[in-house]
């Protein structure tokens, strides 16, 4: 496991973006696993800059997103502030600024009629694409990866997952409150890639910044591997693992 510690969020974001850009340049048709959340935003902005100013070419890149809330999907009738789907986030913050082909973008469908069938299909699509070359990951405050909440099996596959109270509280504050949606009516379930699925990626690139993540980062990277902190499964990843942190998030690492 390579742990790269940068002085601040901006430096962390640039380091992560350059790892992805190097992969795209060496393998233009690579498969990227992508994450939502505030953590990767700076990385997406730097990749957009590289596309616009340096011609970084996404035309053959395939993407698979990690998760989506259940019961919602991108709603073009709503403003970005009202529509809190992960699909909308990706579109606004990344996809619409680069030259990815629509056909190469894969997002879990929170509106799928037969959600279990969809989950199986999503897994098959990843395999058909040749597997995920590089999986971008953040970490939730309770140590979750994607929406694999505490107690999720470390060999879990893509499925529907009930959100933990802490995740509901965090996401209410960061997303739904602004959209005028109450805590009771916001989504309490999500579709998520499983930990087993994530562990099959060839390269895991995990990012974390800020004091809010200090304790959980130390537990995930250096504590016991446990389904109570699903990101601790990073220690079991058999491929390449890179963790990029800012100083605050790295503060409790031994
Ligand atoms: C959500 C996402 C995760 C993400 C986490 C942390 O729960 N499902 O993939 O890592 O939020 O978000 P943030 O980066 O905003 O701290």
Q: Give the CATH number of the domain where residue 141 resides.
A: 3.40.50.1360
pLDDT at 138 over 90: yes
pLDDT at 81 over 90: no
Q: Say if 224 falls within a structural domain.
A: yes
- Closest atom, ligand 1, to C-alpha of 146: 9
Annotation marks residue 142 as catalytic: yes
As a whole number, mean pLDDT of residues 132-136 equals: 98
Which has the closest alpha carbon to 52: 107, 94, 2, 83? 94
Q: Say if 252 falls within a structural domain.
A: no
As a whole number, mean pLDDT of residues 110-125 equals: 97
Question: Which residue segment(s) compose the domain that 191 sits in?
Answer: 2-246
Q: Say if 251 falls within a structural domain.
A: no
- Selected residue with higher pLDDT from 112 and 174: 112
Give the confidence band of 15 by pLDDT, cuts at 50, 70, 90: very high
Q: Say if 46 falls within a structural domain.
A: yes
Give the confidence band of 82 by pLDDT, cuts at 50, 70, 90: confident
The total domain count for the chain is 1
- Strands of 91-232 (E only): list them: 105-106, 134-137, 159-162, 189-192, 203-208
CB-defined site of ligand 1, < 6 Å: 35-39, 66-67, 138-140, 146-147, 167
- Residue 199 has φ and ψ, to the nearest 5°, of -70, -15
Q: Say if 231 falls within a structural domain.
A: yes
Report the alpha-carbon angle 182-44-118, nearest 5: 60
Give the confidence band of 83 by pLDDT, cuts at 50, 70, 90: confident
- Closest atom, ligand 1, to C-alpha of 67: 8
Annotation marks residue 92 as catalytic: no
Indicate the SS3 state at residue 137: strand
Q: Say if 253 falls within a structural domain.
A: no
Q: Say if 236 falls within a structural domain.
A: yes
Taking only the tens place, the pLDDT of each residue in 57-75 is 999 999 999 999 999 988 8
Q: Say if 254 falls within a structural domain.
A: no
pLDDT at 206 over 90: yes
């Amino acid at each position: 496991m390579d742990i790269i510690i940068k002085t601040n969020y901006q430096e962390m974001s640039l380091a992560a973006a350059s790892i992805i850009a190097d992969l795209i340049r060496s393998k233009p048709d690579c498969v990227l696993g992508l994450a939502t959340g505030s953590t990767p935003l700076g990385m997406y902005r730097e990749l957009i800059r590289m596309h616009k100013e340096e011609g970084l070419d996404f035309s053959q890149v395939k993407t698979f997103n990690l998760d989506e809330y259940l019961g919602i999907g991108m709603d073009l009738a709503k403003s970005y502030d009202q529509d809190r789907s992960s699909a909308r986030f990706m579109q606004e913050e990344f996809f619409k600024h680069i030259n990815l082909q629509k056909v190469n973008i894969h997002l879990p469908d929170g509106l799928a009629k037969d959600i279990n069938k969809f989950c199986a299909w999503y897994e098959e699509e990843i395999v058909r694409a040749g597997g995920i070359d590089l999986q971008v990951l953040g970490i939730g405050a309770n140590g979750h990866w994607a929406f694999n909440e505490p107690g999720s099996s470390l060999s879990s596959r893509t499925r529907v997952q009930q959100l933990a109270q802490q995740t509901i509280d965090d996401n209410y504050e960061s997303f739904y409150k602004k959209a005028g949606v109450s805590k009771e009516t916001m989504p309490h379930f999500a579709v998520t890639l499983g930990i087993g699925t994530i562990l099959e990626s060839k390269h895991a690139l995990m990012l974390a910044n800020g004091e809010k993540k200090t304790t959980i980062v130390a537990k995930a990277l250096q504590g016991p591997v446990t389904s109570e902190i699903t990101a601790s499964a990073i220690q079991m990843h058999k491929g390449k693992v890179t963790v990029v942190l800012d100083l605050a998030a790295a503060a409790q690492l031994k």
